[in-house]
Structure 1
Amino acid sequence: MSTSGHETGHAAGPTDRIDRTSWIDLIGARRAVDGSWRLGETEPGPHGSVQRPLHLRSFGTDVTAVLLTPDATSPSAVVVVPFYDTDTLLGRPSPLYPAGRPGPGRDYALRLAARGLGVLAVPWWAELLAEREGPTELSARYGPPAAAHAAQHPGVTGLGRSVADLLLAIDALTETPGVDADRIGTFGHSLGGKHALFLAALDPRIRAAVVHEPGVGFAHSNWQDPWYLGDQVPRHRDLDELTGLISPRPILYAGGGASDGSHNADIAQRAQQHWPDSGFDVLMHNTGHPLPDHVFAACASWLTDHLN
């Protein structure tokens, strides 16, 4: 099934539309010409949920997301969670995060489902195209897929391709039984935080967003890497403008002092000015880049409150 999709839901003025379009053009965040999707068979999922694969075809790559919805008769809110792979999000060992690797859990989709939320776990195209047992260093692992993408799809940045995949996934969600199309949110940590930030800014169908350690400000993270923006990092605009496109929809901006903290508080404050009353919430924990379990619990509660 193929869809073209369109922006809905956010009452935007002319300037807002122009700014959103300019960001879409800047990163090339437009659905691939081969963009299509189909839902797979239903089977029992964790925590009493119903589980279905969502097969996306985008830029010549098959991307299989996993949709979990509560086993209930009424349509549910769904949180879109982009990350490296779906195994990690669902609490299964993966080459990147094998069992026993130290650090907080990254089973975000599993824990959101345990709260009764619907979840769409979406893997990253560059991880799908990387050598499965290859190096874990970023440039060695994702540089080759990014270079191949740039040669095949000029004008579409690596980040633009990621957002295009997510736009296609939202198209599918809005037509899927069991999903409340008016209660779609997004959550992301690190790479997923970058993707969630751009998704929420560029797709008004997202009703609430949580981003943890995305690196707000082009000077404060690796936005110049080829799987993000490469040489398309703009010189005369920054992410306070991009983030402002989410307003008046609510966002929780969270950081641990690595990519996001006191060092980029000024640009976060400029972004916050796009919410003259309320809706831009901040959660800083100053324990580094990983997302501690107790901070994730606070993020999940915030999402539950804003989507339910």
Structure 2
Amino acid sequence: MSTPGHGSVHATGPTDRTDWIDLIGARRAVNGSWRLGEAEPGPHASVQRQLHLRSFGTDLTAVLLTPDANPPCAVVVVPFYDTDTLLGRPSPLYPAGRPGPGRDYALRLAARGLGVLAVPWWAEMLAEREGPTDLSARYGPPAATHAAQHPGVTGLGRSVADLLLAVDALTKIPGIDIDRIGSFGHSLGGKHALFLAALDPRIRAAVVHEPGLGFAHSNWRDPWYLGDRVPQLRDLDELAGLIAPRSLLYAGGGASDGTHNADVAQRAHQHWPSPGFDVLMHNTGHPLPDHVFAACASWLTDHLN
């Protein structure tokens, strides 16, 4: 792990959390609510409970794993397409026979003794179960319906609002250390984890892998993210800077994140007056290799414990 070299500060005028919250519409649904299900034995000596979230008229079922010993525990919020994938179960998106590194991030974090909250993505929950896997065909219709029903709330804003509601719940659940809440995400989950950490100061440390740092370096204009709300006079170095002085590990494989957007990472680093912004690049592409995940998980464990 390394820290990027210093570059010139990207001066685009003052910005704060409120600016970004207003920009993407990341405000909790007026009638948002949550309910915690019954406890049952979980994997890796954990207690497993469902966390039922009601947000923007959609029911999302997150899964909470907490160690069955030594409370209060740290908890990592892990957003992704669905919870089955995060828990190592086959899903329509990632069937058991699909090649590539494992995506059972929640399961492997729990094996390290961390609490984990696996949170599904609203657009995947509203997509056709047996529908196409092409992103636009699968998530375009839910995004269009959302835009018509909730003007001013971007698709990304809705995702962040769901996660803010989930963190609200965590702060009310006995046995959770509210001062040791982290976030972890890969790809789509990396985008969500980045914005959550930036816009919610309750997040103590975050790991984001291949989020596409910089609006020019990923599909931020897709309607389930920002659509035509991508700002012209600011970039994600400012957003990432809102995490400082809390800890951030920014990781990439040379696809969405690598040498081509190192300048954005350098500008982001300017917001940290002391150590706290770390970089891990592996240059093996967009998927998160198992050995790189292990390094990210170790970093997160250290910073939450």
TM band (smaller chain): over 0.9
Query: Post-superposition shift, 1:18?
Result: 5.7
Kindly report which structure 2 residues correspond to 1:121-270, keeping only aligned pairs within 5 A, or say none.
121-270=118-267
Over 2 Å off, 4+ runs: none
Kindly report which structure 2 residues correspond to 1:13-32, keeping only aligned pairs within 5 A, or say none.
19-32=16-29
* Structure 2 partner of 1:4: none
Query: Post-superposition shift, 1:73?
Result: 4.0
Task: Say which SS state the counterpart of residue 16 (structure 2) adopts.
Answer: helix
* Structure 2 partner of 1:9: none
Is 1:105 matched up with 2:81?
no
Alpha-carbon distance between aligned partners in 2 of 1:84 and 1:272, rounded to the nearest angstrom: 29
Cα deviation code 1:190-212 (max 9, x no counterpart):
00000000000000000000000
Specify the code of the residue in structure 2 equivalent to 1:264: N
Identity of aligned residues (%): 88
Alpha-carbon distance between aligned partners in 1 of 2:257 and 2:116, rounded to the nearest angstrom: 25
Query: Post-superposition shift, 1:154?
Result: 0.1
Which of 278, 283, 299 aligns to 2:280? It is 283
Alpha-carbon distance between aligned partners in 2 of 1:73 and 1:198, rounded to the nearest angstrom: 30
**Structure with greater contact order relative to length (CA < 8 Å, sep ≥ 6):** 2
Is 1:306 matched up with 2:300?
no
* Structure 2 partner of 1:96: 93
Specify the code of the residue in structure 1 equivalent to 2:211: P
Alpha-carbon distance between aligned partners in 2 of 1:62 and 1:72, rounded to the nearest angstrom: 30
TM-score (norm 2): 0.95
* Structure 1 partner of 2:7: none
Deviates more, 1:268-277 or 1:117-126: 268-277
Query: Post-superposition shift, 1:276?
Result: 2.1
Q: Is the 8 A contact 2:15 2:238 kept in 1?
A: no
TM-score (norm 1): 0.94
Alpha-carbon distance between aligned partners in 1 of 2:35 and 2:94, rounded to the nearest angstrom: 28
CA RMSD of aligned residues (A): 1.1
Specify the code of the residue in structure 2 equivalent to 1:51: Q
* Structure 2 partner of 1:39: 36
* Structure 2 partner of 1:67: 64
Alpha-carbon distance between aligned partners in 2 of 1:18 and 1:69, rounded to the nearest angstrom: 36
Cα deviation code 1:130-167 (max 9, x no counterpart):
00110000000000000000000000000000000000
Unaligned runs of at least 5 residues, structure 1: 1-16
Task: Say which SS state the counterpart of residue 53 (structure 1) adopts.
Answer: strand
Paired residue total: 293
Alpha-carbon distance between aligned partners in 1 of 2:269 and 2:89, rounded to the nearest angstrom: 37
Cα deviation code 1:162-193 (max 9, x no counterpart):
00000000000000011110000000000000
Cα deviation code 1:222-267 (max 9, x no counterpart):
0000000000000010000000000000000000000000000001
Query: Post-superposition shift, 1:74?
Result: 1.8
Alpha-carbon distance between aligned partners in 2 of 1:74 and 1:234, rounded to the nearest angstrom: 43
